[in-house]
Amino acid sequence: MRLLVMDEPKAFLKFLCLFFCFQSSFGVITNQGMHSYREESENQVEEREFEGWLQSRPEEYIMSLQQHNRNKVTAPKLSTQKVTFFDESKLTYKKGPYNGFPKHVMGMYILLADDTEPGYGTNSDWEPKLHKYQQEGANVLFFTFINPETMEVPRSFKRLAATRGKDVEGAVPKDTLVIFAIGGYQYSLDYNPWNWLKSRPAAEAMAVEVAKWRDLYGIDGIDLDIEEGAGSRKEAGPNMLYFVKKLKSIHPDLLVSQPTYGYPQVQAEIDVINGGWRKGGDPTGLVDSIGLMVYEGTQALNYVKNYASGTSQWDGFPIKVDVPKSRILLGCKGSSNRESITGLASAAVKQKIMGVMVWYCSVRNGLKYSEAWDCSGRPDSEQAYVDSMSLFSAANTY
């Protein structure tokens, strides 16, 4: 969930020159940034099948300076002002049954909190409401993001989660799963390390606190969006596994989802995935799904093999296990056209892949990042999600 940023026109021109002149020598651009081939033989490159790397237009992976300035995080200052006009004690939550993920998932990341955005911080009091297409076009909602520095559940999360199953405007449907997403790309850079991943005792203590989110808010699971920065630290992955093990010991049915780049690059993500399955695809009971952070068109399909056939790759490949396709979510840009959205959904059903995860969708009254990525406000895309959810609903009945 990242974009490259060029602060000055000269830097941008220099980047384009380097990219187009030396791409074959130094690396390739994906939706996850630059990946170097390093010193690989032709045979190894052929085994990786690099024809799947994304060939995006520059505007797809370079955010304008104006957009960046709107969202940049530099030495973030957390909002600490409590708003007292809304009484959280009056909120009630739907709790259970907890039946796990449906056979096919249409999951949307909805922006609800960002401590760098005035009016949308952890303690900001505003009333998020779902669009109709989000109510009809998704069966899983990733509430985005919890700040890993504080691990406080944002007020907006609480307010929207409390609407589940209730007859109120913009409510979460009763059968839609609610997943709280922790971290994200920027929080992984700015809070490095995440303090609760410095040691096993700290990780396990945080798991005890996070387990309370099920008891308090009735959530179905969490999403571990630890990316480069905090996710690249040697201790992060092993301690994240201690965190998950402790969490699962308290709530075995609490879902854990792990986003990952199309090509495995972030060590913590790799460690969690390797700890979630075995060779041949048997689960360890720690991780319930992975999501491929590849968002251009239907390109995510090209990366399924990196995880579904991890043990069949070359020696030294980071993924040492085989993740069943039924546990893999395909990345989809929120603003994708109808052909791409329905194409991913149809492929998921035909290939028995778990489904689709969408980055990103703004809610009514809500926070927006780049308009070019937002699901909302594009009738063709919105309807495509509803139609794809209908396809999944039919497939989920058999």
Average pLDDT over residues 27-36: 33
- Per-residue H/E/C for 107-141: EEEEECCCCCCCCCCCCCCCCCECCHHHHHCCCEE
Per-residue pLDDT tens digits for 102-146: 999 999 999 999 998 999 999 999 999 999 999 999 999 999 999
Which residues touch 17 (CB under 8 Å, ≥6 apart)? none
| Token pair belonging to 37 | 């081939």
Instruction: Name the class of domain 99-395.
Output: alpha beta
What would the pLDDT profile of 280-326 be if each residue is shown by its tens digit? 999 999 999 999 999 999 999 999 999 999 999 999 999 999 999 99
Please state the domain extents for the chain: 1-63, 99-395
Task: For residues 181-188, give the mean pLDDT.
Answer: 96
202-231 average pLDDT score? 98
CB 355 within 8 A of CB 393: no
d(CA 31, CA 46) in angstroms, rounded, equals: 21
Q: List the beta strands (DSSP E) in the chain.
A: 4-5, 28-30, 33-35, 62-63, 105-111, 140-146, 177-183, 221-225, 255-260, 289-292, 328-333, 355-362
Euclidean distance between CA atoms 317 and 131, whole angstroms:
42
**Rounded CA gap, 112 and 127, in Å?**
10
Reported confidence tier of residue 1, pLDDT bands at 50, 70, 90: low
Pairing verdict, β 177-183 and 221-225: parallel
d(CA 108, CA 359): 7
The confidence score (pLDDT) of residue 77 equals 45
pLDDT of res. 272: 98
pLDDT for 28: 32
Averaged confidence pLDDT in the chain: 85
